[in-house]
């Protein structure tokens, strides 16, 4: 298959770019491959909203910029922060034009929420299902454009770069598309494209216990890494402080930070409100601080979770703002009017990823990255809440703009087909499951919120053993999605651990006891 634009992923990043470029060039073809149902993504589960300065009387770009820089703990790229925040209102206009709905207050202005690290109310939201609404609107728009094809249940296995070519037709390291598996027929084919956009989302599932859906396996980052793109800041895994506690320890429902912005308190088992002891902003300190504080409380008490107390909040107001959270709690027999919600930190977001410039270009020619898989410099050592959807919108626009002005030059390279000669269907699927569990336990126990050099070094050794076994399976077996995802997660785990070991100073979401001075 050939296309003008190959987009890997159908969350906010992939869809926003696709809609913009397809509208601008009706004669150019955009192919989106996405490995599950077309709407399955981290985007779909976003709750709190999008941080955008809209109330210029109380708020300002300057305040949002300052909050972002403080949260990022000195490691943000200031120019990027300014650019992204100032672009926010334009990108919001576009989302509204495409049909996304956000809550309004009685005066017809945006009903603004607040989250950790924000000095003002500035989070635009659609109840507590903002991502669901954005994904709905973007997919509806994409379906109106006849030059966009969405191939759901299609898994991108690897990028095609110079080293796949029969002869060195191109001198600089470039991307020519990807090898893709149709997951229903299990056939692998090549999509040749002049420009490829990785919009493949985050890595939460590497930890098992995560707010992310199971698709968040870091595929794009692993593909880019294998293709020799520069990957940066992988040590900055963000743990969300308040995932609903469930003993199973797998994907967990999120209790939005906006609930703390609405007045909820964090308490330990004996009812003590501990956050004021850790930070003067108490429950509304930035996420890194709240998660590290909960971790410290749990280590002192030996308990498995703390509690979020909403019992003092007006029930009707709560239901109006957080209907989904209210109902989810009821499903778990938690009545927020009388019961505290058991919560625990869980892996939530990756601040690092594939390094890109302001135009979203990676260190490989013709390869762009956008959204959670990218590292733009906006988040530094810790992302400010609700800055992620904003970042994806702004960079999708920047990449689009770069395409509008660049020369359109269809490449004529000769790409060999995927070769799986000598492999067979894996006989022991259990080995994939077994190694996945080993990997997730390793990341949870050795590479969590608080790290140490001893644990990180031990993690590298254990990971090597898992890597060896899985590479053996990969060489001998016909490709399956589960095997590719496991291999990708091993690459991502390696990057998180090795880049953690390289960081000699604690910053934001990275805390290593051996770095305490």
* 192 three-class SS: strand
CB of 210 to ligand SIN, least distance (A): 12
**Catalytic pick among 91, 122, 287, 375:** 287
Q: Pick from 3, 43, 161, 435: which binds ligand FAD (CB under 6 A)?
A: 43
Residue 492 lies near ligand SIN (rule: CB under 6 A):
no
Q: Which residues, in sequence order, are CB contacts of 159 under 8 Å at separation 6+?
A: 175, 177, 178, 196, 223, 224, 226, 227, 364, 367
CB of 393 to ligand SIN, least distance (A): 13
Residue 47 lies near ligand SIN (rule: CB under 6 A):
yes
Residue 385 lies near ligand SIN (rule: CB under 6 A):
yes
Q: Which is nearer to ligand FAD, 12 or 490 (CB)?
A: 12
Q: Which is nearer to ligand SIN, 202 or 426 (CB)?
A: 202
287 is catalytic: yes
Q: Which residues, in sequence order, are CB contacts of 107 under 8 Å at separation 6+?
A: none
Phi, psi of 273 (to 5 degrees): -85, 100
CB of 394 to ligand SIN, least distance (A): 15
Q: Pick from 48, 113, 261, 360: which binds ligand FAD (CB under 6 A)?
A: 48
Residue 386 lies near ligand FAD (rule: CB under 6 A):
yes
Residue 251 lies near ligand SIN (rule: CB under 6 A):
no
Residue 9 lies near ligand FAD (rule: CB under 6 A):
yes
Residue 291 lies near ligand FAD (rule: CB under 6 A):
no
Residue 258 lies near ligand SIN (rule: CB under 6 A):
yes
CB of 254 to ligand SIN, least distance (A): 6
> CA quadruple 166, 167, 168, 170: dihedral positive or negative?
negative
Concatenated DSSP letters of 240-267: EEEEEP-TT-SS--B--HHHHHTT-EEE
* 188 three-class SS: strand
Confirm if 177 and 6 have CB atoms less than 8 A apart: yes
- Binding segment for ligand SIN (CB under 6 A), chosen from 161-169, 244-252, 385-393, 481-489, is 385-393
Token pair, residue 142, equals 């994409």
Token pair, residue 322, equals 């957080």
Confirm if 27 and 7 have CB atoms less than 8 A apart: no
Pick out residues in 58-117 that bind ligand FAD (CB under 6 A): none
Q: Which residues, in sequence order, are CB contacts of 33 under 8 Å at separation 6+?
A: 6, 7, 8, 151, 154, 155, 156, 178, 180, 191
From ligand FAD, ligand SIN, none, interface partner of 334 (C-beta below 5 to 8 A by class): none
Residue with smallest beta-carbon separation from ligand SIN: 48
From the CB of residue 96, how many other CB atoms can be counted at a distance below 10 Å?
Answer: 13
Residue 212 lies near ligand SIN (rule: CB under 6 A):
no
Token pair, residue 382, equals 């810790």
Residue 11 lies near ligand FAD (rule: CB under 6 A):
yes
Pick out residues in 325-354 that bind ligand SIN (CB under 6 A): 349
Q: Which is nearer to ligand SIN, 7 or 206 (CB)?
A: 206
Confirm if 125 and 103 have CB atoms less than 8 A apart: yes
CB of 40 to ligand FAD, least distance (A): 5
Taking CA atoms, 407 is separated from 135, 366, 403, 515, in Å, by: 31, 12, 8, 48
d(CA 318, CA 315): 5
Long-range CB contacts (< 8 A, 24+ apart) of 475-480? Answer: 475/423, 476/423, 476/424, 476/426, 477/423, 477/424, 477/425, 477/426, 478/186, 478/420, 478/423, 478/424, 478/425, 478/426, 479/157, 479/181, 479/188, 479/420, 479/423, 480/186, 480/426, 480/429, 480/432
Confirm if 322 and 308 have CB atoms less than 8 A apart: no
Pick out residues in 386-415 that bind ligand SIN (CB under 6 A): 386, 388
CB of 372 to ligand FAD, least distance (A): 4
- Binding segment for ligand SIN (CB under 6 A), chosen from 96-104, 202-210, 256-264, 401-409, is 256-264
Pick out residues in 220-279 that bind ligand FAD (CB under 6 A): 220, 254
CB of 258 to ligand SIN, least distance (A): 5
459: nearest Cα among 205, 207, 203: 207
Q: Which is nearer to ligand FAD, 47 or 477 (CB)?
A: 47
From ligand FAD, ligand SIN, none, interface partner of 85 (C-beta below 5 to 8 A by class): none
**The residue to which tokens 């909403």 are assigned:** 310
Q: Pick from 73, 219, 233, 297: which binds ligand FAD (CB under 6 A)?
A: 219
d(CA 512, CA 517): 11
From ligand FAD, ligand SIN, none, interface partner of 355 (C-beta below 5 to 8 A by class): none
From ligand SIN, ligand FAD, none, interface partner of 491 (C-beta below 5 to 8 A by class): none
Q: Which is nearer to ligand FAD, 227 or 456 (CB)?
A: 227
Residue 148 lies near ligand FAD (rule: CB under 6 A):
no
- # chain residues binding ligand FAD, by CB under 6 A: 43
Confirm if 196 and 411 have CB atoms less than 8 A apart: no
CA 39 to chain CA centroid, Å, is: 15
Residue 10 lies near ligand FAD (rule: CB under 6 A):
yes
Helix (H) or strand (E) holding 323: helix 323-331
Q: Which is nearer to ligand SIN, 47 or 193 (CB)?
A: 47
Query: Which residues are known catalytic residues?
Result: 287
Contacts to ligand SIN by CB under 6 A: 47-48, 256-258, 349, 385-386, 388
Contacts to ligand FAD by CB under 6 A: 8-14, 33-36, 40-43, 45-50, 130-131, 155-156, 199-202, 211-212, 215, 219-220, 254, 349, 371-372, 386-389, 392
């Amino acid at each position: 298959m050939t296309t003008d634009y190959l987009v890997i992923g159908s969350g906010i990043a992939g869809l926003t770019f696709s809609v913009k470029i397809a509208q601008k060039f009706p004669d150019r073809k955009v192919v989106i491959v996405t490995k599950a149902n077309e709407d399955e993504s981290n985007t779909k589960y976003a709750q709190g909203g999008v941080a955008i300065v809209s109330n210029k009387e109380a708020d300002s770009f300057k305040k949002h910029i300052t909050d972002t820089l403080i949260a990022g703990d000195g490691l943000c790229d200031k120019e990027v922060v300014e650019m992204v925040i100032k672009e926010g209102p334009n990108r919001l206009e576009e989302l509204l034009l495409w049909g996304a709905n956000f809550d309004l207050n009685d005066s017809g202005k945006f009903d603004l929420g607040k989250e950790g690290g924000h000095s003002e109310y500035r989070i635009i939201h659609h109840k507590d299902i903002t991502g669901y609404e954005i994904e709905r609107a973007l997919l509806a728009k994409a379906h109106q454009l006849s030059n966009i094809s969405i191939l759901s249940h299609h898994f991108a296995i690897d990028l095609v770069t110079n080293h796949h070519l029969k002869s060195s037709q191109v001198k600089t390291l470039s991307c020519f598309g990807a090898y893709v598996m149709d997951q229903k027929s299990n056939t692998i084919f090549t999509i040749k494209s002049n420009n490829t956009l990785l919009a493949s989302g985050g890595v939460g599932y590497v930890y098992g216990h995560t707010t992310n859906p199971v698709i968040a396996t870091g595929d794009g980052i692993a593909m880019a890494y294998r293709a020799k793109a520069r990957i940066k800041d992988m040590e900055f895994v963000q743990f969300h402080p308040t995932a609903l506690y469930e003993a199973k320890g797998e994907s967990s429902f999120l209790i939005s930070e906006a609930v703390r912005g609405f007045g909820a308190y964090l308490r330990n088992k004996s009812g003590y409100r501990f956050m004021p002891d850790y930070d003067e902003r108490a429950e509304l300190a930035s996420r890194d601080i709240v998660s590290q504080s909960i971790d410290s409380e749990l280590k002192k008490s030996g308990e498995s979770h703390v509690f979020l107390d909403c019992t003092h909040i007006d029930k009707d107001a709560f239901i109006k703002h957080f209907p989904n959270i209210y109902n989810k709690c009821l499903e778990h027999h938690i009545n927020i009017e009388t019961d505290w919600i058991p919560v625990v930190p869980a892996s939530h977001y990756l601040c690092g990823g594939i390094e890109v410039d302001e135009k979203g270009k990676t260190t490989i020619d013709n390869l762009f990255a956008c959204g959670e898989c990218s590292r733009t410099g906006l988040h530094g050592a810790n992302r400010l809440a609700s800055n992620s959807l904003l970042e994806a919108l702004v960079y999708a626009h920047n990449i689009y703009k770069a395409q509008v002005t660049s020369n359109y030059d269809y490449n004529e390279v000769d790409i060999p087909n995927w070769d799986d000669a000598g492999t067979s269907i894996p006989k022991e699927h259990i080995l994939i499951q077994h190694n996945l569990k080993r990997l997730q336990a390793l990341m949870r126990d050795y590479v969590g919120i608080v790290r140490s050099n001893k644990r990180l070094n031990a993690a590298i050794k254990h990971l090597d053993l898992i890597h060896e076994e899985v590479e053996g399976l990969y060489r001998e077996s016909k490709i399956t999605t589960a095997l590719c995802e496991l291999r990708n997660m091993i690459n991502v785990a390696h990057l998180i651990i090795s880049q953690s070991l390289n960081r000699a100073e604690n910053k934001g979401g990275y805390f290593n006891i051996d770095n305490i001075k």
